[in-house]
């Protein structure tokens, strides 16, 4: 496998995490408009994508395979927990200068 093939494999592996994180942040901003008015979408998307990517990586190490339903369930749960933490948890009360 060449370097370009390895890059495509890596991008394909993290694509579901990026999509779930971005769509989850958008959905959270739409469902809880008033509560999340002070939290920027970029902050929610960053937390959601990071949580989802970490869960996918951890489940790949644990299960040894990618694409299992359990892996995607863990990714979704981790994304939801990260979005909650960024929007309503202790991370929301911290001032962020960059996001």
* Distant-in-sequence, close-in-space partners of 17: CB < 8 Å, separation ≥ 6: 49, 52, 53, 55, 56, 75, 79
Mean pLDDT, all residues of the chain: 91
| Percentage with pLDDT > 90 across the chain | 83
pLDDT level of residue 99 (50, 70, 90 thresholds): low
Confidence of residue 94 (pLDDT cuts 50, 70, 90): low
Structural domain containing residue 45: 16-92
Q: What angle do CA 89, 53, 88 make, to 5 degrees?
A: 10
Is residue 52 domain-resident? yes
> Is 33 a member of any domain?
yes
Is residue 4 in some structural domain?
A: no
In a domain, 98, yes or no: no
- Token readout for 24 is 């989850």
Q: pLDDT for 28-71, tens place per residue?
A: 999 999 999 999 999 999 999 999 999 999 999 999 998 899 99
Has residue 81 been placed in a domain? yes
Handedness of CA 11, 17, 20, 22 (dihedral sign): negative
Count of domains forming the chain: 1
Rounded to 10 degrees, the C-alpha dihedral 34/36/37/43 comes to -170
Q: Is residue 76 part of a domain?
A: yes
| pLDDT greater than 60 at residue 98 | no
């Amino acid at each position: 496998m060449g370097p370009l093939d390895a890059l495509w494999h890596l991008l394909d592996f993290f694509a579901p995490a990026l999509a779930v994180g971005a769509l989850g942040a958008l959905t959270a901003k739409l469902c809880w408009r008033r509560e999340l008015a002070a939290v920027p979408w970029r902050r929610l998307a960053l937390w959601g994508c990071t949580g989802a990517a970490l869960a996918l990586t951890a489940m790949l190490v644990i299960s040894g395979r990618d694409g299992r339903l359990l892996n995607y369930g863990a990714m979704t749960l981790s994304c939801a927990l990260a979005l909650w933490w960024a929007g309503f948890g202790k991370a929301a009360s911290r001032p962020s200068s960059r996001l």
